[in-house]
Amino acid sequence: MEKVNLNHKTIFVTGAAGFIGSNLVKRLFKDTEGATIIGIDNMNDYYDVALKEFRLRELDNVVPEGTTWKFVKGDIADKATIDAIFSEYKPQVVVNLAAQAGVRYSITNPDAYIQSNLIGFYNILEACRNFPVEHLVYASSSSVYGSNKKVPYSTDDKVDNPVSLYAATKKSNELMAHAYSKLYNIPSTGLRFFTVYGPAGRPDMAYFGFTNKLKKGDTIQIFNFGNCKRDFTYVDDIVEGVVRIMQGAPEKRQGEDGLPLPPYAVYNIGNNQPENLLTFVDILQQELIRAKVLPEDYDFEAHKKLVPMQPGDVPVTYADTTALERDFGFKPSTSLRDGLRAFAEWYAEFYKTDNR
């Protein structure tokens, strides 16, 4: 593994107004000295743009002295925009988090996934080829495991049976990165994230949607009759993993045939502890009551309905994090209680909820 020092480097973060992207930039502000951090986001309205603007305002307020922060409103699917950024700033480290997310949306709006996840990622790879980088880190997803029966999911498992277009685009990213690593010796690392949650998260995620519905007095639907298990991973744990991995690029080596071996790696970042969705929702409503988002006498049982599985969903996600622990000495560990408490407190503040 090649050590990558992030101090005094130019770092390009795509999806910088997104949930993980904004938290990563905030962390880089804290951890690096003299860095130039370029962020890009197309600020689309897949979910409430006010949340993305809130995250950007938070970033603008915490830029440390000696750090340069530049935000570009633009789309990674626009090749000219990406080429211009690489040409001007010549980033040494690239973290590609921009993507059209969500399994269910990919069933009704496939075009968005082809544009952002395939064409956009291709543009990033091409730019990394033309302006060589020390390390390309990119978001993959636990959804690539599809309905694999073997758990926990290991990066050594075959992942050739995606059950959604979203999953297929993420698997494609890994294949594309592997080809570019092999052909052009670009050190690249893919990160399979497992169900990320936390303050200022994505409203299309179940915990956020549940909260909005419970607050309005609507009934929430719990899929697969509550028999879904998810490896819920708190956003700070995800960011910790990303920052560590950014600093350890796969080594450039020659194979026995004298040709380069692809400097390529893939890691799971997950909590390694799947929780039943019913347990998750129960803790969520307790924390929402504690944060006064919901009243103390809230009748939770009357507001939940157990329903069958949805197309594209999988019954369980479970990360094998052995490789992450072995190579980077890190294992996510934030408990559901702590993570959901932080979310509930943020939600109460952001939406100025008062049920007292």
Rounded Cα gap, residues 100 and 171, in angstroms: 14
Can you say whether residue 251 is alpha, beta or left, with left for phi > 0 and alpha for psi between -120 and 50 degrees? beta
Number of CB atoms found within 10 A of residue 87's CB? 11
φ, ψ of residue 26 to 5 degrees: the values are -60, -40
> What residue has token string 């952001």?
350
Bridge partner list, 94 = 12, 136
Count of Cβ atoms closer than 10 Å to residue 221 Cβ: 15
Is beta strand 135-141 parallel, antiparallel or unpaired with respect to 10-14? unpaired
Instruction: Reply yes or no: is the peptide bond before residue 152 cis, omega within 30 of 0.
Output: yes
Is residue 166 flagged as an active site residue?
A: yes
CB 118 within 8 A of CB 110: no
DSSP label at 291?
T
The stretches of the chain forming alpha helices (DSSP H) are 19-31, 49-60, 79-89, 105-108, 110-113, 121-130, 165-184, 206-216, 235-246, 277-290, 322-328, 336-350
C-alpha 318/C-alpha 229 separation (Å) is 8
CA nearest neighbour of 294 among 224, 353, 334, 345:
353
Q: How many residues does the chain have?
A: 356
Q: How far apart are CA 318 and CA 320, in angstroms?
A: 7
Question: Which of these is catalytic: 166, 180, 207, 264?
Answer: 166
Instruction: Decide the pairing of beta strands 68-73 and 93-96.
Output: unpaired
State the angle between helix axes of 336-350 and 206-216 in degrees (0 to 180), rounded to the nearest 10.
50
DSSP 102: -
User: Known catalytic residues?
Assistant: 166
